[in-house]
Structure 1
Amino acid sequence: MLQYIALLRGINVSGQKIIKMDALKAMFESMPFHHVRTYIQSGNVMFDAAETDAEQLRASIEDMLKQALGYAVPVIVRSLTELEEAIRVCPFEVSQLREGEKVYVTFLAQPPALEAIQKLESYRNEVDDFQVRGKDVYVLCRGNYGRSQFSNTFLEKKLGAAATTRNWDTVLKLAEISRD
């Protein structure tokens, strides 16, 4: 069995696409998954599965959610190993953040094209910083994330990939829960 984290995009945000976590857990338990756990209301599901193809898992989860909910929910799947690597290679020294600074990770469905990353570079500014590493974009937010130029939607459009964003504390907690 491999350990995975499914990150659902756009649920329980501003009263839209409300999914109770106990119902979400039950949906995942109806699949060939084991040891299903959820974390907070933003759509984080940890589970074990025999399947080794994360893309196949993503497609199966999205199909199941569409059937159960009646609408599409984009899903990003990472193995625990991939999540731990994303934590390890964070380009920002999280322990050295100044007051008001926070790190976010935008998880992409696939690595962006080099041209898209180069175009994204033109949006650099003094307010927030970012680094693209494989299928992850790290955003150092020096203000309110809600006002950051590097929002999830902005990064999806500029990089041409489905994405979902989590704050650093949540990323660490997902890895911790997955290890248990």
Structure 2
Amino acid sequence: MADGQDNQQVAFLRGINVGRAKRVAMADLRKLLGDLGFTQVRTVLNSGNVVFGAGTVAPAEAAARIEEALVLKLGVAARVTVLSASQFDELIAQNTLAPPADASRLLALVLNNPADVQRLAPLLQQPWQPEALALGQWAAYAWCPEGVLASRLVAALGVLLGDGVTSRNWATMQKLHVLLGGADGAATA
């Protein structure tokens, strides 16, 4: 897919709307990005997934602008990771784990700093069965057949990366991919 559609990007806000903390209405989030000059702003689900047109703004700059505006306008501090549409396409393509029967048990852990993938490489040598780990340029992929909350692998990734990563299940990633035009089907916007 080309980045030609007004430089499409996807933003992941870490830790919003989880429990009672950091509550952000998606209508407010869409307005916030619109006020920042981003176009075609669409949200997916209620967990801080935003697809938008960024014009000439680079993903890192978009992330910084969104983080600052969240604090100043909504009073919410949240880490924001932004990928271009082509980076997101690569993230989808680099998942080498078999397509799951239950997409909610396969996580894409999107890296805030792609260089952090090097810190995760030693985890590939550990026995995680029945869980599985794969690494890509933009994300780590974790198969958690017994559930995310019971996952030793996800816990290990969290210890190594802290707030330098935000996770989404594969079903959400597929919805975002559809919204970006990378697959057939419909997304909840």
Please, what TM-score do these two structures have when normalized by structure 1? 0.87
Q: CA RMSD in A?
A: 2.2
Q: CA deviation at 1:123?
A: 4.8
Given the alignment, which residue of 85, 102, 114 partners 2:90? 85
| 1:122 to 1:8, Cα distance in 2 relative to 1, 3 A | same
CA drift at 1:160 = 6.3
Alignment of 1:1-180 (within 5 A): 1-94=6-99, 97=100, 102-111=105-114, 112=116, 114=118, 116-121=119-124, 123-151=126-154, 154-159=156-161, 162-179=164-181
* Per-residue Cα deviation, 1:89-131 (whole angstroms, up to 9, x for no partner): 211120xx356983210000112163x2244346542231111
CA gap of 1:101–1:15, structure 2 versus 1, over 3 A, is closer
Deviation of 1:140 (Å): 1.0
User: Cα gap change, 1:9/1:121 in structure 2, threshold over 3 Å: closer, same or farther?
Assistant: same
Note the C-alpha offset of 1:71: 3.3
SS at match of 2:128: coil
SS at match of 2:149: helix
**What are structure 2's unaligned runs of at least 5 residues?**
1-5
- Find the counterpart in structure 1 of residue 3 from structure 2: none
State how far apart, in whole Å, the 2-side matches of 1:113 and 1:83 are: 16
Distance 2:103 2:7 in 1: 37
- Matched-pair contact (CA < 8 Å) for 2:43–2:51: yes
Amino acid at match of 1:74: R
* 3-state secondary structure, aligned to 1:150: helix
Residue type at the aligned position of 1:56: E
Q: Where does structure 1 differ by over 4 angstroms across 4 or more consecutive aligned residues?
A: 98-101
Distance 2:180 2:101 in 1: 29
Which residue identity is paired with 2:111? L
Tell me how far apart the structure 1 counterparts of residues 68 and 174 of structure 2 sit (CA, whole Å): 28
Give 1:133 deviation, angstroms.
1.3
Change (3 A) 1:60 1:143: same
Unmatched segments (≥5 aa) in structure 1:
none
Percent of residue pairs bearing the same amino acid type: 28
| Higher percent of residues as strand | 1
Quote how far apart the aligned CAs of 1:86 are. 1.3
Q: Which amino acid aligns with 2:174?
A: L
